[in-house]
Amino acid sequence: MPSIIQSLRLLADATRLRLLLLLEQAELTVAEIQEILNMGQSRISTHLAQLKRAGLIRDRRAGKNVYYGLVPEDASQARWREIVAASAREIPESTTDRTALGLVLRKREDRAREYFNRLAGKFGRSYCPGRSWQGLGHMLLKLLPPLVIADLGAGEGTLSQLLATTAHQVIAVDNSEKMVEYGANLAREHGFKNLEYRLGDIQSPPIEPASVDLAIFSQALHHANQPARAVAAAQAILKPGGRLVVLDLLSHGFEQARELYADLWLGFSEVDMQQLLESNGFTGIDVSVVAREEEPPHLQTLLATASKR
């Protein structure tokens, strides 16, 4: 952490303040920042390098992309974070920046939504990484019916319909209109009265707080712009003592997954998943690798379970 004088020098520049205000809301690539600020790459990279050397931001490589974000907050950073927050009122571009940020993040979601709209009705007949019956079997063994279950990022709801055979109620949430429509029609055809499909974002699911016994992310969390926000939202809808199950990909380097499957994150390490659940107040956390695909790129499946206090 730089000295007070160094911090003031860094924060005296309007561009660096705009960058910190943006990175406080989301991790971004240089290309995304260029689109938001309408500035050249060289200028942006110079400011990012200065902020990184000062210990105010950090970067994270995900395949070919490098994402920049604020360092984890602690007491020593309270002063400069207050200055950054207060500066938003004095920087005329901050309102435009927020709007542009929303558009950039929406483009991320639209790319994923477009992919899943095309895929509706094809799961089970097309390859989807990590969606193995072996992995799903491990997860199902941990379920205790009858429960009120939220399937977050449900897609067309293949898993939701399996759960509905024994659950008290299943709420399937997805942000693809076509997926929700297809799943709802399929549920009606199969006579599931306890299965409801809802259109919504897994980062703010349309479910009442403290109303669910079990929340599930099945190969969905790596499609979230902010996985931590999605996990926090799951924690909020769970009843005290409720359970969370995350079935996702282990960290991998299969960069093509971004284009082929609209993945935003190339999986999660066991350590990252453990920390993600701990930071959202979950207890009884268990994280393990439960499956490995035999064919290249040999993607592995990560299973995590946890409880809400």
| Per-residue model confidence as pLDDT tens digits over 219-250 | 999 999 999 999 999 999 999 999 999 999 99
Structure confidence at residue 141 (pLDDT): 47
Among the listed residues 32, 23, 28, the one whose alpha carbon sits nearest the alpha carbon of residue 81: 23
As a whole number, mean pLDDT of residues 182-198 equals 94
Percent of the chain at pLDDT exceeding 70: 91
CATH number of 4-107: 1.10.10.10
Averaged pLDDT of the chain: 89
| pLDDT (tens digit per residue) in 128-146 | 777 666 677 657 646 667 8
As a whole number, mean pLDDT of residues 260-264 equals 93
End-to-end CA distance of the chain: 34
Structure confidence at residue 183 (pLDDT): 93
Residue 181 has pLDDT above 90, yes or no: yes
The CA-CA-CA angle for residues 286, 133, 212, to 5°, reads 50
User: Between 113 and 147, whose confidence is greater?
Assistant: 147
Q: Which CATH class is domain 133-308?
A: alpha beta
What is the DSSP track for the chain? ---HHHHHHHHTSHHHHHHHHHHTT--B-HHHHHHHHT--HHHHHHHHHHHHHTTSEEEEEETTEEEEEEPPP-GGGHHHHHHHHHHTTT-TTHHHHHHHHHHHHHHHHHHHHHHHHHHTT-BTTB--TT--HHHHHHHHTT--SS-EEEEET-TT-HHHHHHHTT-SEEEEEES-HHHHHHHHHHHHHHT-SSEEEEE--TTS-SS-TT-EEEEEEES-GGG-S-HHHHHHHHHHHEEEEEEEEEEEEBP---TTHHHHH--SS--B-HHHHHHHHHHTTEEEEEEEEEEE-SSTT--EEEEEEEEE-
pTM flag (> 0.75): no
Residue 2 has pLDDT above 60, yes or no: no
Residue 101 has pLDDT above 80, yes or no: yes
Find residue 58's DSSP bridge partners: 69
Q: Which residue type is seen at 215? A: A
Structure confidence at residue 102 (pLDDT): 86
Q: Which of 1-5, 216-220, 287-291 has the weakest average pLDDT?
A: 1-5
pLDDT tier for residue 271 given thresholds of 50, 70 and 90 = confident
Structure confidence at residue 144 (pLDDT): 66
All structural domains of the chain with their residue ranges: 4-107, 133-308
As a whole number, mean pLDDT of residues 117-128 equals 70
As a whole number, mean pLDDT of residues 33-51 equals 94
Q: Which of 110-119, 223-232, 259-268 has the weakest average pLDDT?
A: 110-119
Structure confidence at residue 283 (pLDDT): 96
Residue 254 has pLDDT above 60, yes or no: yes
Equal fold, 4-107 vs 133-308: no
Structure confidence at residue 126 (pLDDT): 66
Structure confidence at residue 16 (pLDDT): 92
